[in-house]
Amino acid sequence: MSAKFELSQLPNRPLWFEPGQPRERLDGTVEADVAIVGAGYTGLWTAYYLLKSEPSLRVVLLEKREVGFGASGRNGGWASAIFPISLPRVAQLYSHDAALRLQAAMNETVDEIGRVLALEGVEADYAKQGFLSLARSAPQMARARAAAEDSARFGLPEQWRVLEAAEARASLGAEGTLGGLYTEHCALIHPGKLVRGLAWLVERMGAKIHEQSAVTRIAPGVVHTEHGTVRAGMTVRATEAFTSQQPGHSRFVIPLYSLVLATEPLPRELLAQLNLDHRMAFNDMRHLRVYGQVTAEGRLVFGGRGAPYNWGSRMSDAADLVDSIHAKIHQTMLEFFPALAGTRISHRWGGALGVSRDWCPTVSIDRCNRIAWAGNYVGDGVATSNLAGRILRNLILERDDEINTLPLVNHRSPSWEREPLRWLGINSGLAAASLSDVEERYTHKPSRTAMLLEKLTGAH
């Protein structure tokens, strides 16, 4: 039986998922100081910091499915200091100082997550061993060197460090490694343990979580579900890619899908042979992003982009599984580690991430309409959602804090184009990213297609 066929038989089941006791849905009308729509990382971190600051607050979270159903329970487990747009782009939009302060805040956020988990006794397999982006071709090695040089010129000489071939291969035993780019500012987590642990934590602190409570309408001071209503002084919209499904927000953010595979637990000898006996996040410097980690129990988790954008930002459970893309991700994993050719894939899944038109996340508040929101993390939300939760706490409670002045606060992105331009543009961009990697593979030179794509997207 072919590996492709075996993959296609696997159900949509994230490795991180664990069935638990369902929480009651919202029935009737309840009063709250803060109503939070969405029980993922953003909503739960916001609830945590609110209650840590003001334990008497009445906080209610409303979740359409179950805690962590969305990206918070489907991601690759990187809590990294990576921001979706480059620092020069942030400086262009705001200022050089603002970009430096943003990177410092992102670096600190990686440590803040570990600090809170240790303080509160939440076990989420947190391990801060950094992130290594391998260079596996001459163009990729040129990008690695350029990235470190650009960072140093920008004022962050210690943010990234170039690894030459021997050190990179000793750190990670992927085929064809010519070097790499390393940063210490990244931790690995178990996404499911983190989101469930945060949910139990905020419930112990006094928050109320209602599952199976789809929100039908948000109005100033009131949130309506199919079976109930929450009257609240402030509402927080923490729905990430699912924001695109809400009335009036179809062009605010788009859902793009990231797909993931997980192997069965690997023998310790094999992990050692492949220099995978660590908890360091890794990928390589290709244009169509991939990502990997080894879990605490020794499974290789490997994912990537490339799934097509669906017309009209349509979202469905079926979109989590794209056989051809899962097969390409598996092929890429074997290109990294040919010794895994006979290894069984135990899980495959997918999930939507939220992308704004300029790729920039936001944390915003509208006091007149009594609503705040955060998201558009472009797949870098594990850490950014923690920073967003702290900022939302400050904005709601009107607390002065330096992080309130970061560039993502009250950032307004332009709207996405209407269809069919949106569908054509996004899927053409995905195809161009994939073509860029093919171009570099055959020419051994930096891709001209990629350079054009960066200019067109404005993300860099």
Q: What is the mean pLDDT of the chain?
A: 96
Q: pLDDT-based confidence at 1, cuts 50/70/90?
A: very low
Tokens of 330: 């598996």
- Residue-level pLDDT at 452: 75
Antiparallel, parallel or unpaired: β 290-294 and 300-304: antiparallel
Give the residue extent of every domain in the chain.
422-460
CA-atom Rg of the chain in angstroms? 21
Q: What is the pLDDT of residues 128-152, one digit of tens each?
A: 999 999 999 999 999 999 999 999 9
Residue 451 scores a pLDDT above 80:
no
List Cβ neighbours of 345 (8 Å cut-off, separation of 6 or more). 3, 6, 7, 10, 261, 262, 263, 264, 330
Sign of CA dihedral 23, 26, 30, 31: positive
What are the pLDDT digits (tens) for 390-414?
A: 999 999 999 999 999 999 999 999 9
- Cis preceding linkage at 420, omega within 30: yes
Q: Is the pLDDT of residue 459 over 60?
A: no
pLDDT of residue 207: 98
Rounded to an integer, the average pLDDT of 24-37 is: 98
Helix (H, G, I), strand (E, B) or coil at 2: coil
pLDDT tens digits, one per residue of 425-448 = 999 999 999 999 999 998 989 888
Over range 337-345, report the average pLDDT.
Answer: 97
Q: What percent of the chain has pLDDT over 70?
A: 98
Q: Per the structure block, which two tokens stand in for 29?
A: 């009308």
Does residue 383 surpass a pLDDT of 70? yes
Residue with tokens 């209407």: 418
Q: What is the number of helices (H) and of strands (E) in the chain?
A: 12, 18
| Mean pLDDT (whole number) for 367-374 | 98
Q: How far is CA 317 from CA 70, 247, 300, 356, 382, in A?
A: 11, 20, 24, 22, 22
Asked if 194 and 78 touch (Cβ cutoff 8 Å), the reply is: no
* Residue 2 clears pLDDT 60, i.e. is over it: no
Name the pTM for this structure.
0.96
C-beta of residue 436 within 8 angstroms of C-beta of residue 450: yes
pLDDT at 454: 73
